[in-house]
Amino acid sequence: MTAIRALPATTSYAVGFGVSSVRTPPTNLRSRRVVNAQAEPSDKSVEIMRKFSEQYARRSDTYFCVDKSVTSVVIKGLADHKDSLGAPLCPCRHYDDKAAEATQGFWNCPCVPMRERKECHCMLFLTPDNDFAGNEQAISMEEIKELTANM
Ligand code: SF4
């Protein structure tokens, strides 16, 4: 049974995946379109955020989601913000003023909760004890394109 918990009102979705005894890919994360995957970021920014994600996962001893379409959508969301805002603002939240948030920096990836407590509510970086953590810290450009092709 999956427990649902509410995230702060400022978040754009209210789903917690941390409490589950079943390793089921969190398809509801994708179907809710918490990340705007419709915008097509530049290949250059996707590649920058892809490399960053691999390096930061290794550095923080975290892993990508067992369902790498989640990883792919978040990387593209970060790349989209890098293109539009000049900074990889977290794509899983609602902001009244994105430009101001990007300047402030708290939610630029890796955000402060991730840096301080290894908390990534986007499920890009998962600690090994997380039910949805896979065993990979690498993702290719081809995987990202393939896994987001129909979104
Ligand atoms: S580390 Fe923070 S900013 Fe980066 S994807 Fe996760 S929640 Fe968003």
Contact 121, 48 (CB under 8 A): no
pLDDT digits (tens, 9 = 90+) for 17-33: 333 333 444 544 444 44
Residue minimizing CA distance to atom 2 of ligand 1:
111
Coil, strand or helix: which one is 84? helix
- Percent of the chain at pLDDT above 70? 74
The predicted pLDDT at position 150 comes to: 84
Residue minimizing CA distance to atom 4 of ligand 1:
109
Distance 122 CA to ligand 1 centre (A): 6
For residue 78, give the ligand 1 atom closest to its CA.
5
Q: Over the range 121-134, which residues count as b (16 or more CB within 10 Å of their CB) and which as e?
A: bbbbbbeeebbbbb
Task: Give the bridge partners for 93, in sequence order.
Answer: 11
For residues 117-127, average pLDDT: 98
The answer to whether 92 is a known catalytic residue is: yes
Task: Give yes or no for residue 94 having a pLDDT over 50.
Answer: yes
For residues 140-149, average pLDDT: 97
Nearest residue to 130 (alpha-carbon basis) of 120, 139, 115, 143: 120
- Percent of the chain at pLDDT above 90? 73
The predicted pLDDT at position 14 comes to: 29
Tell me the C-alpha distance between 118 and 51, whole Å: 19
Task: Give yes or no for residue 37 having a pLDDT over 60.
Answer: no
Side chain identity, residue 144: I
Residue minimizing CA distance to atom 6 of ligand 1:
120
| CA angle at 59 for the pair 55 and 64, rounded to the nearest 5° | 65
Task: Give yes or no for residue 88 having a pLDDT over 70.
Answer: yes
Average pLDDT for the chain: 83
